[in-house]
Amino acid sequence: MSIETRVITATDGRRVRVHDAGSRGSAIALPVFWHHGTPGIGEPPQPLLAIADELCLRLIGHDRPGYGDSDRLQGRCVGHAAADVADIADALGIVRYAVMGYSGGGPHALACAAADPRVTAAATLAGLAPRDVQGLDWFDGMIDSGIKALTSAERGESARRAAEDDGYDPEFTDRDLAALDGSWEWLGRIASSFSPADLDGAIDDDLSYVNDWDVDLDAIDAPVRIWHGDADRIVPPAHGRWLSRRLRAELRSVPGAGHVSVLEEAGDALRWIAAASR
């Protein structure tokens, strides 16, 4: 399936690049907005395209500000994603849609569910919880590189930018590496396309994670389901457990799965979205 790329103009005049996989199934396919991790771009995952067709789902993604051809929005918070997705939905004539977020995309998917009543269901995989919430030791169990990057973000943009010199070791598990060599090699290809021009997007992402999300989690009416690997050390599984309790959402804890290998459950997440959105 080909993915159509276009640029829409947000309400505030910024350019936002959109990736639309469409559907070879039906003209009434339910749109599902894919929210990418950090770093990344909004191209819907190739491993999910055939499943989406089978389920009559239309996968759509967008490059968050500062990535790809999307203009930077300095000082953005997680909640800003809801406005951009609403603008995209308006531009494409979409009246109802679901959201799905991976890793740092999880918070952005929840932002859409909290802000837009058109959202029918929200699924997150390995998603972050908000910083400084009760009942969660946010950094506990996180890899050293993640702690360094995100604690530097807490000190501001200059400190986070300087932390790039320290490098980043994701410490992938053997199961993660197997996924990257197999069914999810697409993710490695996307990551390899990251360029210095995308650095602003990654830095702004990290700043948004450790500051106020400006998302009212209590406003989420759509059903939510959470997938999290119990061997994840990039976003520790305690984040998924906290979100599950806070949102009264079902948690699917995946035994032995790390931060990448949890994506092997993404097809099930799409099946749940299709059923929950009926």
Tokens at 100, concatenated: 């799905």
When pLDDT is cut at 50, 70 and 90, the band that residue 28 belongs to is confident
Query: In which band, very low, low, confident or very high, does the pLDDT at 27 lie, cut at 50, 70 and 90?
Result: low
CATH code for the domain of 120: 3.40.50.1820
Nearest to 247 by CA among 137, 111, 88, 65: 111
Q: Where are the alpha helices (DSSP H) in the chain?
A: 49-54, 80-92, 105-115, 144-154, 157-162, 174-181, 185-192, 199-210, 237-247, 266-276
pLDDT of res. 240: 98
- What burial letters (b/e) apply to 191-220, b meaning 16+ CB within 10 Å? eeebeeebebbbbbbbbbbbbebebebeeb
Tell me which residue range forms the domain holding 147. 4-276
pLDDT in tens, 207-256: 999 999 999 999 999 999 999 999 999 999 999 999 999 999 999 999 99
Asked if pLDDT for residue 26 goes beyond 80, the answer is no
Q: Among candidates 69, 111, 35, which has minimal Cα distance to 200? A: 69
- The alpha carbon of 192 is separated from its chain's Cα centroid by a whole number of angstroms, namely 18
Decide: 85 and 116 in contact? Cβ < 8 Å: yes
Query: Which secondary structure element, helix H or strand E, spans residue 228, and what is its range?
Result: strand 224-229
- On the question of pLDDT at 150 being above 60, the answer is yes
Count up the domains in the chain and report the number: 1
Task: Report the DSSP pairing between strands 30-35 and 97-102.
Answer: parallel
Contact 85, 59 (CB under 8 A): no
Q: Quick one: which of 103, 60, 104, 102 has its CA closest to 84? A: 60
